[in-house]
Structure 1
Amino acid sequence: MKSILMTGCLLLAFIQSSWLQAEEHRIVLGGKNFTEQFLLARITSLILQERGFVVEEELNLSTIEIRQAILDQKIDLYWEYTGTAYSAIHRLSDPEVIADAEKLYTAVKGLDEERGLIWLDKASLNNTYSLVVPAKLAETHRLASISDLGVLAQIDSSLTMGADGVFIRRPDGLRQMLQHYGFSFGPGNIIELQGNRPAYSLLQRGRLQVGMAFATDPQIYAHDLVVLEDDLGFFPVYNPAPVIRREVLERHPELESLLNSLPGFLNDKEMIQLNYAVDIDNKSVDQVAREWLIGKGLISDTQSVSEMPEAG
């Protein structure tokens, strides 16, 4: 009986020790609610798991939700965009800052450090807002920039634009952009969409002439659209970077070098290809993220982890 009790006690101690060790290496990773963020979250999750961390994923969050979650210590880490942090979170709009990637990164890094949030290295990819038009329309009217579009809009009051509600209402969004460029669309010619994806099919069918897009959206290339140059420099730079709670980084200082190994691989071309594989080729987020990491030599090809829900 005594040996049975001793065995039971040892087993309980082992279980408790294993649980404590797992908790010590547990990371709650946040992600926003679109394909690129699903990919960044899964890439991060896989590389963390490769290094022995237990990762819990909290995905499909809006910018407001994910920001509040990290401030409330409900998540430990997520990828944020410099332009989003500066304009939408901190409500700042200095034109000399928003157009300069380094000034913008330094500004948001300093602002968030005061709040216990540490910005690690940023990626060079710039997923900024863009206006897109069908290639045929661009060719017919010689549209290369947003200023060119403004000239056409004053001549042709029938031009119709589609954009999601967030872009229409946010501080660096549509209304402010139109003021910045000094033109407007005709009455009722701005259509609010649920997300930016519907714009692509509507543009293709001729229901819209102008659409809001993100610079790394693969649909731009799949649907033969032209990105208009932001020639007056309205939109901020949107470089993503891992943002982590200070106490988590102090507890696991090795996370800094581990997570900083990712941004150097993430440029516009790489991100467009990753997004294309999910949104156009209909591959799973997990497959795309895993193959990309293996291809870069960042994880082994024998790792076995649970699948993340697919984007879309």
Structure 2
Amino acid sequence: MKHPIATLLTTLGLSLAGAAATAQAADEPIVVGGLNYTEHLILTSATAQLLDAHGYDVDKRDGLGTSVLRQAQENGQVDLYWEYTGNSVILFNDQPQPDTAAETYATAKRLDADKGLVWLDPSDTNNTYALAMREADAEQRGIHTLSDLAAAMNDGAGLTLASNAEFYARDDGLRPLQEAYGFRFPRADVKRMDSGLTYNALRDGEVDVALVFATDGRNGAFDFEVLDDDQQFFPVYQLAPVVRAETLEAHPDLKPLLNRMSAALNDTTLIDLNSRVDIDDQDIDKVARSFLTEHDLL
């Protein structure tokens, strides 16, 4: 039987070790991660500026791929970043698509808690994937929904698609989309390119259909028609800040700060912010700071 004094010393030692680890975490910079496209670059910059303004030492690491960034957070190399609920449920946790935004968020929150990740308050956003055509072309061909697109392809329309490499290979990407709607773009007719280039390729007539994001300001500016996902294939991609539990324990003030920022985000705001960068060619850091100032976050 272990002596009571030994037990006490062991317990005390563990407590001190835990306290030391927390203190060490509190002294280290907060690593803010981000993905490699406009919306995320803006959010990452805004988050870094927000934390810096509140006295945090920040290490910003943006421009990463989806799976790379998630793995970096699980490995403790990234403390926090903005993630989409659909990514967590379907891509990272390999679960079926829930029926509603609330269920998707709750599922992501529950599953990621087991991995030491905390989902804070969700924003009122849904930056889901979509397919778009030039408005005039869609009108001429009578294609307004993904079912219309499927029917046209099955009738031999021979349309070409611009897609980024990630969507081409994702479990909630092109292959299962085609299976759900019962059609197929021949491999030779899918042009893979960086996300931002799909918009230019469609606008310039290099392809007939392009992968877009629902909150991208270029959809309206380039006169695109975003095809209706009439069978509701695409998951909800609701943005929320996700923080490592250890980081949140060391920095509890992060929670109210990030929740305030999340409350300021909605689809209209994201479209506006994205447009300032992609259409008006404004500097990302300046756009991010304007967002923080306009919403009294600084």
Could you state the TM-score of these two structures normalised by the residue count of structure 2?
Answer: 0.88
Residue 22 of structure 1: how far off its partner (Å):
11
Cα drift, residue 122 of structure 1: 0.9
Name the aligned partner's letter for residue 269 of structure 1: T
Which runs of structure 2 are paired with 1:118-157 in the superposition (5 Å)?
Answer: 118-157=118-157
Q: CA deviation at 1:288?
A: 0.4
**Residue in 1 aligned with 2:67?**
64
Q: What amino acid maps onto 1:103 in structure 2?
A: E
Residues 25 and 53 of structure 1 are in contact (CA less than 8 Å); yes or no, is this contact kept in structure 2?
no
CA deviation profile, 1:237-277 (whole Å, cap 9, x unmatched): 00111110111111121211111001111111100110111
Moved over 4 A (4+): 20-23
- Distance in 2 (CA, whole Å) between partners of 1:178 and 1:211 is 14
1:185 corresponds to: 185
Q: 2:46 aligns with which of 19, 40, 43?
A: 43
* Preserved contact between residue 37 and residue 196 of structure 2 (Cα < 8 Å): no
Residue deviations 1:185-220 (CA, integer Å, cap 9, x gap): 346222222x22222222223221111111112221
Q: Which residue of 2 aligns with 1:6?
A: none
Q: Is the 8 A contact 2:26 2:250 kept in 1?
A: no
- 1:69, 1:133 → 2: CA distance? 36
1:29-40 mapped onto 2 (5 Å cutoff): 29-40=32-43
For the pair 1:261 / 2:260, whether they are aligned, the reply is yes
Q: Which residue of 2 aligns with 1:158?
A: 158
Q: Give the Cα separation in 1 of the matches to 2:297 and 2:70.
A: 28
CA contact under 8 A between 2:86 and 2:236: conserved in structure 1? yes
Q: Which amino acid aligns with 2:252?
A: P
Matches within 5 A, 1:217-228: 217-228=216-227
Conserved 8 A contact 2:31-2:78: yes
Asked if residue 27 in structure 1 is aligned to residue 26 in structure 2, the reply is no
- Is the contact made by 2:123 and 2:265 (CA closer than 8 Å) also made in structure 1? yes
Say which SS state the counterpart of residue 112 (structure 1) adopts.
helix
Q: Give me the CA root mean square deviation.
A: 1.7
Question: How far did residue 21 of structure 1 move?
Answer: 10
Alignment deviations for residues 124-172 of structure 1 (CA, whole Å, 9 cap, x no partner): 1111000000101121122221011111112233211111111111000
CA distance in 2, matches of 1:287, 1:262: 17
Which runs of structure 2 are paired with 1:5-20 in the superposition (5 Å)? none
2:94 is aligned with 1:91: yes
Aligned to 1:3: none
Q: What letter is aligned with 1:165?
A: A
Q: Which 5+ residue runs of structure 1 have no aligned equivalent?
A: 1-19, 300-312
- Name the CA distance, whole Å, in 1 between partners of 2:172 and 2:39: 20
Are positions 1:234 and 2:233 aligned together?
Answer: yes
CA contact (8 A) 2:134 2:203 kept: yes
**Aligned amino acid, residue 116 of structure 2:** G
Aligned to 1:286: 285
Instruction: Could you tell me which runs of 5 or more consecutive residues in structure 2 were left unpaired when the two chains were aligned.
Output: 1-22
Structure 1 counterpart of 2:27, which letter?
E
